[in-house]
Amino acid sequence: MRMSDFVVRDAIIPDLAAVNKEGVIREMAASLRAADCFREADQEDVVRAILKRELLGSTGIGRGVAIPHTKHNGVERLIGTVAVSPNGVSFESLDGEPVQVFVLLISPQDRPGDHLRALENVSRCLRDDNFVKALRGATTRDQIWSLLEKYDH
Amino acid sequence: MESSTLRNCFVLTNHQGLHMRPCGAIAATAARFQSSVTVSLPDRQVNAKSILDLMTLGAPKGTELTVEVDGPDAKDALDAMAGVFDRLAKGDFDEKDET
């Protein structure tokens, strides 16, 4: 599995406007909804599910990256999107630092294998400092997509 | 105190496998000790003090993981790691089917 297999190109956000955790999750969910990844009726429920997961422990894992995620039956297959906040957002990260790079994942219920493979792939990519640095510097959707294809580990 | 290397194997019996929260708990626990702590699959070994490294294992239910500790507090570190895997086996990280 590669990031380009599950990241929805049309939902990539190169310049997040949100300035807090809930705003980031809402903006990314709205972008996936706008790309027809799930029904409008499910959007609020998806947002609430991701926020509920954050209450169990922040998915801001340090080094300026976060992987908010949830399971939801509003999606038929595992999907994701990538967003970059040029100024960074406070996300209650493990290291207390603001987050610039977000990878949001939504998987169908009871498909733990798919979720683990996506997490494995995202982690491999985000472990590469050059990839994260390049993402932070990207300013367009096409640039981010090119980076996903170039750095897919 | 003498340095020593200790290891133990743990099989993932929880439905969700080694997802983000258990990785976080393992990393936080391993970080409390001076000893180096690694988690291995047959073909890969990662630093257990890094949540990002642990997540790259992508280990599903049924996987056997080897934990190896090396350093002055190796026994305490291995006991603490066993505690985390025990919580994982009991379903502490799978409540409400969250990840």
The residues spanned by each domain of chain B are 4-93
* Contact across the interface for A116 and B98, Cβ inside 8 Å: no
Helix axes B20-30, B74-89, angle to 10 degrees: 160
ipTM: 0.92
Tens of each residue's pLDDT in chain A, 153 residues: 899 999 999 999 999 999 999 999 999 999 999 999 999 999 999 999 999 999 999 999 999 999 999 999 999 999 999 999 999 999 999 999 999 999 999 999 888 899 999 999 999 999 999 999 999 999 999 999 999 999 876
d(CA A54, CA A31): 19
Domain topology for B4-93: Histidine-containing Protein; Chain: A; (3.30.1340)
**At A66, which CATH number?**
3.40.930.10
- Chain A residues inside the 8 Å CB shell of B57: 120
Catalytic residue selected from B10, B12, B19, B25: B19
Distance from CA of A130 to the nearest CA of B (A): 15
Mutation pick from A6, A71, A119 vs chain B, by most beta carbons of B within 10 Å, is A119
How many domains are contained in chain A? 1
Provide the 10 A C-beta neighbour count for residue B18: 26
Active site residues of A: 69
Q: Which range of residues forms the domain containing residue A105?
A: 3-151
